[in-house]
Structure 1
Amino acid sequence: MRSLIVVALVAVTALAVPDSKLGSIECEMCEMAVKTVVPMLDQDTKDIENAVNEECKKLLHKIPFATQKCKKFVDEELNKIIKELESGTAPSDVCKKIDMC
């Protein structure tokens, strides 16, 4: 019985770890995006998307399926980041405000 409890505890812990790592990756992606977007706010959205995608790929180049992760991030989060920055939110606060960090 004790062994079963230990195995169950290890399994639950193992399942929890990837979520926390994913959260930190998303936070890093957001912070990278903010740094990329700030000097480009006056440029075309498509140019900003391309720049963030390239920086994202550099950030995640060692992770399998990084291209898809970057595309999903840009599709789902980039407009929120741009809107926050355009509305005057400080770059250091954007990722917290949109719940990425």
Structure 2
Amino acid sequence: MPPRKARHHHHVYVVELVDQVWNEPSFRKANPDYQLGKPFVYVGMTGLEPDLRFDRHKAGIQSNRFVTRYGMRLLPHLYEVFNPMPYEAARDMEVELAIGLREEGYGVWQA
């Protein structure tokens, strides 16, 4: 019997945060090169569908405090092209995507 092919089910996702997140000192400190007018975002990775993961954040379940307090909506145009993928790839892509968005001037939180 041939080995079963693993189904890739990990995802990276990006949540848009409301502007008030800029009032958080730790968020400001993490984004010294933020460009005025660019979005504030949270970048994460999950084994769930991004919609379900966002709902869990908002419900306070294994959540990031910035998403719970300031999360508005997912920004699928920034991540859909990458999903789904293996765990290791998602772990790496979460970091790479956050770095890329910061380089574009976004305010980014990535845990």
TM-score, normalised on structure 2?
0.36
The structure in which a higher percent of residues are strand is: 2
The structure in which a higher percent of residues are helix is: 1
Larger Rg computed on CA atoms: 1
Greater relative CO (CA pairs within 8 A, separation 6+): 2
